[in-house]
Structure 1
Amino acid sequence: MSARAKKEAPLVKQVITNNEEISPGVHVISFKRNSDFLPGQVVKIGVDTDHAPRIYSICSGNQEDEIRILFNIKDDGFLTPKMAAMIPGDILYVSEPYGSFLGTSEPAWWIATGTGIAPFYAMYRSGISENKTLIHGVRHLNQFYFEDELEWSMGKNYVRCCSQEQSCDVFPGRVTDYLENLTELPDVKYYLCGKALMVVEVRDMLIERGVDYANIIAEIYF
Structure 2
Amino acid sequence: MQKAATKNQQFELEEVTITGNEEISPGVHLISWMRICDFSPGQVVKIAADPMIAPRIYSICSGNDEPEIRVLFNVKEDGLLTPWLAGVIPGMKIWVSKPYGSFKDDKKPAWWIATGTGIAPFYSMFRSGIADNKILIHGVRKLDQFYFEDELEWAMGDRYVRCCSQEQSCNVFPGRVNKYLEEIKELPTDINYYLCGKAIMVVEVRDLLISRGIPYENILAEIYF
TM bracket (short chain): over 0.9
Unpaired runs of 5+ residues, structure 2, are 1-9
Please report the TM-score for the alignment, with normalisation by the length of structure 1.
Answer: 0.96
**1:9 Cα offset (Å):** 5.2
Q: Deviations over 1:94-142 (max 9, x none)?
A: 0000000001111000000000000000000000001100000000000
| Matched pairs, number | 215
Could you tell me how far apart the structure 1 residues matched to 2:109 and 2:38 are?
24
Unpaired runs of 5+ residues, structure 1, are 1-7
The aligned residue for residue 3 of structure 1 is none
CA contact (8 A) 2:11 2:54 kept: no
**1:210 Cα offset (Å):** 0.3
Could you tell me how far apart the structure 2 residues matched to 1:176 and 1:88 are?
39
The aligned residue for residue 143 of structure 1 is 145
1:192 lines up with 2:184 in the alignment: no
The one of 208, 217, 220 equivalent to 1:217 is 220
The one of 33, 44, 47 equivalent to 1:42 is 44
Please report the TM-score for the alignment, with normalisation by the length of structure 2.
Answer: 0.94
The one of 77, 85, 93 equivalent to 2:87 is 85
Q: Residue type of the partner of 1:14?
A: V
1:107 lines up with 2:109 in the alignment: yes
CA contact (8 A) 2:137 2:162 kept: yes
Could you tell me how far apart the structure 2 residues matched to 1:9 and 1:86 are?
21
CA contact (8 A) 1:189 1:217 kept: yes
Q: Residue type of the partner of 2:165?
A: S
**1:50 Cα offset (Å):** 2.6
SS in 2 for 1:203: helix
Could you tell me how far apart the structure 1 residues matched to 2:199 and 2:97 are?
25
CA contact (8 A) 1:40 1:120 kept: yes
Q: Residue type of the partner of 2:199?
A: A
SS in 1 for 2:31: strand
The aligned residue for residue 76 of structure 1 is 78
Could you tell me how far apart the structure 1 residues matched to 2:86 and 2:134 are?
32
Could you tell me how far apart the structure 1 residues matched to 2:131 and 2:94 are?
30
CA contact (8 A) 1:9 1:96 kept: no
Could you tell me how far apart the structure 2 residues matched to 1:14 and 1:161 are?
36
The 5 Å alignment of 1:25-64 reads 25-64=27-66
- Displacement over 4 Å in runs of 4+: none
